[in-house]
Amino acid sequence: MARGSPARGPDPRRRGSGAGTRWRVAFNAFKRINIIQRHLIMSKHTDATEEVLLEKKGCAGVITLNRPKLLNTLNVNMIQQIYPQLKKWEQDPETFLIIIKGAGEKAFCAGGDIRVISEAKNANQELAPVFFREEYMLNNAIASCQKPYVALLHGITMGGGVGLSVHGQFRVATEKCLFAMPETAIGLFPDVGGGYFLPRLQGKLGYFLALTGFRLKGRDVYRAGIATHFVDSEKLGMLEEDLLALKSPSKENVAAVLENYHTECKIDRDKSFTLEEHMDKINSCFSANTVEQIIENLQQDGSSFALEQLKVINKMSPTSLKITLRQLIEGSSKTLQEVLTMEYRLSQACMRGHDFHEGVRAVLIDKDQSPKWKPADLKEVTDEYLNNYFKSLGSNDLKF
């Protein structure tokens, strides 16, 4: 007899098909809930040294996102440790700058741990309101931080990882940096302040990046205006050491060190911005006020670049596309805090809807890459339908 099997009594799995099926369904449901509960418990109780390192080194506070096997995806536990420490360092007279980086060679941060959020929702665990509220509060704290804040963007930098960096004073990309806001492909929208920084990029570049999820690599992240500096990845360790060795540095001292490394970096220096030749098309096609008009503009343009973008957009969630365009149009004239308040409303509406959970299933769980969007057609995403996503949450609104 196998170890751990019952010594007596019938095995329900071997009885008539009805009982066996009921047993399997119950067991699988129990197993799923168990896995999700473990995720949630880990999010609350995991040792800080496992998921995020918060260290005082030299003149700086150093944050290391420490989930390299999971591409340093961000969870509630990490946010709840980073936020108070950031506030402490901001007030500490012995801390002169803050550095944030990712462990390993693959990613700075590939985004929020959205799979866990979706699984929690499916198990009737309300993780989403806490996660998005605290993530957006952290995004705002980074933007308002009074100390120089240096994000080292080495490897994948997407979604929530962009939120941990783009609002800070200095963003240093390497040739291995891979930037994207791919949320429309999973039934979400480019949040973490995307409604603030994307419409402020050159021309209509931000609208293009938001709707298509287009990926920028290496020096292009700097040329697009997302990074403030570009540095050879082999020099990143030396750059960090030079920053830590500064004595009571001012913002200007930090900027001077970064500028030196940026100036010395020869990688792709003579290569023009990948999207340079397409910027006229991007500016004209993506200047429309409706997704339908953008699609029509791309069709009328007819170039291979325009048709490629059309193909991409047609795969995205129709609801996400319309939310995103309105988010960026409205965000172009709002403050960051106003944008984050709007985005919190949108995030909670997306959690209640169908497309986010279907997108996570198709892209991250079953990986069949064939989401079944509802509504499936742009025409069905009416203004009235969209207005519900932007509605105030009353006393549950995000407040700063």
The residue annotated as part of the active site, out of 113, 119, 135, 191, is 191
Establish whether 195 is a catalytic residue.
no
For residues 193 and 336, the answer to whether their CB atoms sit within 8 Å is yes
For residues 288 and 294, the answer to whether their CB atoms sit within 8 Å is yes
Establish whether 112 is a catalytic residue.
yes
Asked if the peptide bond before residue 12 counts as cis, ω within 30 degrees of 0, the response is no
Establish whether 183 is a catalytic residue.
yes
Burial class (CB in 10 A: 0-12, 13-18, 19+), 93: exposed
The residue annotated as part of the active site, out of 102, 112, 159, 353, is 112
Helices (H), the chain: 17-45, 48-51, 76-91, 114-122, 128-144, 160-163, 194-197, 205-212, 219-223, 236-244, 251-264, 279-285, 291-301, 304-313, 318-331, 336-352, 355-360, 383-390
The residue annotated as part of the active site, out of 183, 240, 343, 358, is 183
Establish whether 191 is a catalytic residue.
yes
188/191 Cα distance (integer angstroms)? 8
For residues 111 and 74, the answer to whether their CB atoms sit within 8 Å is yes
The residue annotated as part of the active site, out of 111, 155, 160, 218, is 160
Residues labelled catalytic: 112, 160, 183, 191
